[in-house]
């Protein structure tokens, strides 16, 4: 280990990469979650054609490797005339993939909510949309939170795949520097530490969120 | 009777997946009445209540509330109508993610569009009325069965319903908790609340109901004042009476 | 369109050979994960404090670092420094296996903790040693209840095996990429690769589901 290399070369490069990583993770997480909610609701409450289409989407994106999806978006789409920059392809791939997983957790949560909740809301004059927004969604998100949180943590780790389609983020910066200096062990241990930190921070944050949203006796049956 | 008619149901029928659940039900509820529906399970009591609240749409028939015929072609009208009808469910159906106060205030805020403060004030009054003000911060899972049902009554009352429909409100409760819920209902009745209640509580029906209706196989078979239906006089024993004695045997 | 189909047809045998490599990597990784994950789970539940902490740090490390970074770290870094000359395929299986230990130990730990209390006590009361009790009473139950978790783990490892592309392991995605960069039929070829992965996922999960049904014991919920 060479401290001067680490502090004067590695860390500045990795910090630059970290920003790109965050620019990949945050939008993908938001779009993915939104997509997951829409798809989850469509699968559960949508008319048959929509529900089937949404399920097919989720099955396809959960059944194939994310890396293949990224290759499809980045290398495959130009074949039918659609050109995406590495960054856009990465965000699109991450959002589509995590949306599919989110929809699974959200669907499970929606199915676990008893029909009496809907009837009670309707008996008070809630419209269909208001019932979903004020009664069903808050309950479903609490139930889905552990799975959804896990998926966000996966997203942090899988954001490293952006490097393979030439979007140079944290892992990419590390790879470039390692290849120049042949200090693979040092570089990737430190890169690993960056991810460990991100993942640990996210876990702590999610646990805090779960505690904050905890409702006595809710989610046990 | 002198009281004004509040709810009139005419020729209400409902078929669910090929089975006729309600056939040609007629009934009138007058202002201030406590009307009790009794009869065997599967007789259509619950379906009738849900049809009156339009949680289920009847296949045919008319519903007249306060002199105005209810149309349920437009969504808006259905939602507005439901607000005038309070509904109490056997299994409470409280919103499990909200505390007692929020359970009462959410419809005020989101459906009635009251400010949070106004809604909370109103909700507190309703909780006080049913005697669970002290539990306002607790979540449904932390309440006893009786408290849960009282909370669900408060939730319905907050919307100022013209009539309260109660679908076996005490059937999911432990025997020692039934009394506190019945006391709230008695109190409401004495203050002039119009109510239509499906129940198996015969003693309660006998002493408080203005009228009893006996339902079987989707029809109202008998109806009348409790004294008429539940007295042993007369040559023929009424269906209501024989059903009641069966129930009493079971619960004795 | 016709050209694309022709390219897929020509490349298919070559890519399908890669699925053997993929399956080999996945099986190797799953077996390493099983062989080490099971004892680690037992250690996490019944072990002494140092054992539990060591296991927890191991799990934290391997669950917190992306597979891609692990591949680089081990293949170009640690294995090189240790003068281990491992092929890309073996490295992929080994690294996915070591990470699988972390994941699988969590599956089995959950299974052990979900067992009704008193199983261990009952076994001891019959005069079994603790080791005997774990091997004969606890693990057979846990392995059964862990099958759904295992199916999930299979599908994760299968999909992550595609990342071995960066090591140049001749698995499905590497071969697809190789052909695609020569024929310029990226769209059709990656679609083909996707279909192959999808079939492999489905087949494995289906197989494990059948195993679960076969091992079903009445009244025993998993």
State the best of A115, A120, A136, A139 to mutate against chain B, taking most chain B CBs within 10 Å.
Answer: A120
DSSP code per residue over B67-108: TEE---SSHHHHHHHHHHEEEE-TT----TTS-HHHHHHHHH
CA atoms of C37 and A64, how far apart (whole Å):
25
How much is the average pLDDT of B38-43?
86
Closest CA to B169 of B10, B46, B32, B54: B46
Cβ neighbours of A220 in B, within 8 Å:
141
N-term to C-term CA, chain B = 35
> In Å, how far are A155, A171, A220, B144 from A74, measured between CA atoms?
18, 18, 44, 58
- Which pLDDT does position B74 carry in this prediction? 82
In this complex, is the C-beta atom of C57 within 8 Å of any C-beta atom belonging to chain A? no
Shortest Cα–Cα distance, C36 to chain A (Å): 23
Shortest Cα–Cα distance, A125 to chain C (Å): 40
Cβ neighbours of A132 in B, within 8 Å:
none
User: The tokens 């009794």 sit on which residue?
Assistant: B38
pLDDT bucket at B251, cuts 50 / 70 / 90: low
Contact between residue B215 and residue B221 where contact means Cβ atoms under 8 Å apart: yes
User: The tokens 């004042």 sit on which residue?
Assistant: B225
Residues B49-98 have pLDDT tens digits of: 999 998 888 999 999 998 888 877 788 888 888 889 999 999 889 988 88
ipTM: 0.91
DSSP code per residue over A62-113: HHS-HHHHHHIIIIIGGGGT----HHHHHHHHHHHHHHHHHHHHHHHHHHTS
Q: Could you tell me the two tokens for C173?
A: 């995605």
Residues of chain C with pLDDT under 70: 218-222
Shortest Cα–Cα distance, B191 to chain A (Å): 22
Nearest CA in chain A to B107: A124
Q: Which of B50, B79, B97 has its CB closest to that of A125?
A: B79
Q: Is residue C37 part of a domain?
A: yes
Q: Which of C61, C155, C190 has its CB closest to that of A76?
A: C190
Q: Could you tell me the two tokens for B184?
A: 């709230």
| 3-class DSSP state of B31 | coil
- Which pLDDT does position B8 carry in this prediction? 93
State the best of B93, B112, B159, B169 to mutate against chain A, taking most chain A CBs within 10 Å.
Answer: B93
- Which pLDDT does position B204 carry in this prediction? 87
Q: Report whether pLDDT(B230) > 80.
A: no
CA atoms of C161 and C155, how far apart (whole Å):
10
Q: Could you tell me the two tokens for C4?
A: 């694309």
CATH superfamily of A3-213: MetI-like (1.10.3720.10)
CA atoms of A33 and A161, how far apart (whole Å):
19
In this complex, is the C-beta atom of A190 within 8 Å of any C-beta atom belonging to chain C? no
Q: Could you tell me the two tokens for A17?
A: 């990469």
Q: Report whether pLDDT(A140) > 70.
A: yes
Domain with CATH 3.40.50.300 in chain B: 5-84+163-251
More confident residue, B45 or A221: B45
**CB–CB of C165 and A77 under 8 A?**
no
**CB–CB of C197 and A63 under 8 A?**
yes
Q: Which of A159, A175, A200 has its CB closest to that of C72?
A: A175
CATH superfamily of B5-84+163-251: P-loop containing nucleotide triphosphate hydrolases (3.40.50.300)
Contact between residue B165 and residue B85 where contact means Cβ atoms under 8 Å apart: yes
Domain around C125? 2-214
Residues B111-168 have pLDDT tens digits of: 889 999 999 999 999 999 999 999 999 999 899 999 999 999 999 999 999 999 999 9
N-term to C-term CA, chain A = 53
Which uninterrupted H or E stretch holds B165? strand B163-167
How many distinct structural domains can be found in chain C?
A: 1
Shortest Cα–Cα distance, B88 to chain A (Å): 8
- In DSSP terms, which residues pair with B85 in a beta bridge? B163
Residues A64-88 have pLDDT tens digits of: 999 999 999 999 999 889 999 999 9
- Which pLDDT does position C222 carry in this prediction? 45
Half-sphere exposure of B152 (CA within 13 A, CB side): 31
User: Residue C197 belongs to a domain with what CATH number?
Assistant: 1.10.3720.10
B221-242 burial string, b = 16+ CB within 10 Å, else e?
ebbeebeebbeeeeeeebebbe
- Which pLDDT does position B126 carry in this prediction? 95
Q: Report whether pLDDT(A218) > 80.
A: no
Residues A98-128 have pLDDT tens digits of: 999 999 999 999 998 888 999 999 999 999 8
- In DSSP terms, which residues pair with B224 in a beta bridge? B212
Average pLDDT, chain B: 88
Contact between residue B206 and residue B226 where contact means Cβ atoms under 8 Å apart: yes
Q: Is residue C220 part of a domain?
A: no
Kindly list the domain boundaries of chain A, sorted by start residue: 3-213
Shortest Cα–Cα distance, A41 to chain C (Å): 23
Q: Is residue C63 part of a domain?
A: yes
Nearest CA in chain B to A142: B97
Cβ neighbours of C68 in A, within 8 Å:
160-161, 163-164, 171
Using the Cα atoms of residue C168, residue C170, residue C171 and residue C177 in order, give the sign of their dihedral: positive
- Which pLDDT does position C130 carry in this prediction? 79
Cβ neighbours of A80 in C, within 8 Å:
187
**CB–CB of A125 and B82 under 8 A?**
yes
- Which pLDDT does position C208 carry in this prediction? 92
- Which pLDDT does position C216 carry in this prediction? 77
Q: Is residue C185 part of a domain?
A: yes
Shortest Cα–Cα distance, C114 to chain A (Å): 15
The strand pair at B68-69 and B60-65 is best described as antiparallel
Q: Is residue C174 part of a domain?
A: yes
- Which pLDDT does position B89 carry in this prediction? 92
**CB–CB of A114 and B141 under 8 A?**
no
Residues B93-125 have pLDDT tens digits of: 998 888 999 999 999 998 889 999 999 999 999
Q: Which of C61, C77, C162 has its CB closest to that of A65?
A: C162
Q: Is residue C67 part of a domain?
A: yes
Which of A32-41, B24-33, B210-219, C120-129 is the least confident region?
C120-129
> In Å, how far are A113, A210, B166 from A219, measured between CA atoms?
10, 12, 27
- Quote the DSSP letter at residue C65: S
Contact between residue B221 and residue B239 where contact means Cβ atoms under 8 Å apart: yes
- Quote the DSSP letter at residue B236: S
Q: Is residue C195 part of a domain?
A: yes
């Amino acid at each position: 280990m060479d401290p001067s290399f680490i502090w004067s070369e590695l860390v500045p490069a990795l910090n630059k990469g970290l920003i790109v990583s965050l620019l990949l993770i945050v939008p993908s997480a938001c779009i993915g979650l939104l997509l997951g909610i829409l798809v989850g609701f469509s699968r559960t409450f949508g008319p048959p054609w929509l529900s089937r289409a949404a399920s097919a989407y989720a099955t396809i994106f959960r059944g194939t490797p994310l890396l293949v999806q990224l290759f499809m978006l980045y290398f495959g789409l130009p074949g039918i005339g659609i050109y995406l920059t590495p960054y856009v392809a990465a965000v699109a791939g991450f959002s589509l993939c995590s949306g599919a997983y989110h929809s699974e957790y959200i669907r499970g949560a929606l199915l676990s909510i008893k029909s009496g909740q809907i009837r009670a809301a309707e008996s008070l004059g809630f419209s269909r949309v208001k019932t979903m927004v004020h009664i069903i969604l808050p309950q479903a998100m609490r139930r889905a939170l552990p799975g959804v949180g896990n998926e966000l943590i996966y997203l942090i780790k899988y954001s490293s795949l952006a490097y393979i389609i030439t979007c140079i983020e944290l892992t990419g910066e590390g790879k470039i520097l390692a290849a120049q200096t042949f200090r693979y062990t040092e570089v990737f241990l430190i890169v690993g530490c960056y991810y460990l930190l991100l993942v640990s921070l996210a876990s702590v944050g999610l646990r805090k969120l779960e505690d904050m949203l905890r409702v006595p006796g809710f989610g046990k049956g | 009777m002198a009281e004004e008619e509040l709810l009139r149901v005419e020729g209400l029928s409902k078929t669910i997946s090929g089975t006729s659940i309600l056939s040609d039900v007629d009934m009138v509820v007058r202002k201030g009445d406590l009307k009790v529906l009794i009869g065997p399970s599967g007789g259509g009591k619950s379906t009738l209540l849900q049809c009156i609240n339009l949680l289920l749409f009847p296949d045919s028939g008319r519903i007249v509330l306060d002199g105005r015929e209810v149309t349920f072609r437009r969504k808006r009208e259905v939602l507005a109508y439901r607000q005038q009808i309070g509904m109490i469910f056997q299994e409470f159906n409280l919103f499990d993610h909200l505390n007692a106060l929020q359970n009462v205030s959410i419809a005020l805020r989101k459906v009635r569009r009251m400010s949070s403060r106004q809604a909370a004030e109103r909700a507190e009054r309703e909780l006080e009325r049913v005697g669970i003000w002290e539990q306002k911060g607790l979540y449904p899972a932390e309440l006893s069965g009786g408290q849960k049902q009282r909370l669900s009554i408060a939730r319905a009352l907050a919307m100022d319903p013209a009539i309260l429909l109660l679908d076996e409100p005490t059937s999911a409760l432990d025997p020692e908790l039934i009394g506190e819920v019945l006391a709230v209902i008695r109190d409401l009745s004495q203050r002039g609340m119009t109510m239509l209640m499906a129940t198996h509580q015969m003693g309660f029906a006998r002493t408080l109901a203005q009228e009893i209706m006996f339902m079987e196989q989707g029809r109202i078979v008998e109806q009348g004042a409790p004294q008429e239906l539940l007295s042993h006089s007369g040559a023929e024993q009424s269906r209501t009476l024989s059903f009641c004695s069966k129930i009493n045997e079971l619960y004795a | 369109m016709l050209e694309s189909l022709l390219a897929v047809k020509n490349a298919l045998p070559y890519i399908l050979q890669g699925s053997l490599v993929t399956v080999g990597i996945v099986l190797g990784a799953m077996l390493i994960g099983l062989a080490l994950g099971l004892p680690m789970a037992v250690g996490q539940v019944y072990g002494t404090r140092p054992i539990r902490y060591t296991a927890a740090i191991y799990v934290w490390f391997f669950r917190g670092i992306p597979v891609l970074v692990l591949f680089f770290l081990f293949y170009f870094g640690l294995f090189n420094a240790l003068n281990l000359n491992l092929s890309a395929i073996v490295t992929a299986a080994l690294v996915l296996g070591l990470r699988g230990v972390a994941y699988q130990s969590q599956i089995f730990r959950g299974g052990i903790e979900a067992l009704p209390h008193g199983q261990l006590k009952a076994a001891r009361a019959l005069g079994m040693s603790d080791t005997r009790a774990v091997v004969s009473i606890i693990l057979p139950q846990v392995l059964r209840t862990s099958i759904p978790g295992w199916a999930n783990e299979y599908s994760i490892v299968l999909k992550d095996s595609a990342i071995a592309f960066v090591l140049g392991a001749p698995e499905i995605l590497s071969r697809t990429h190789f052909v695609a960069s020569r024929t310029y039929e990226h769209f059709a070829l990656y679609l083909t690769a996707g279909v192959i992965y999808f079939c492999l996922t489905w087949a494995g999960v289906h197989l494990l589901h059948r195993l679960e049904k076969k091992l079903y014991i009445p009244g025993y919920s998993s």
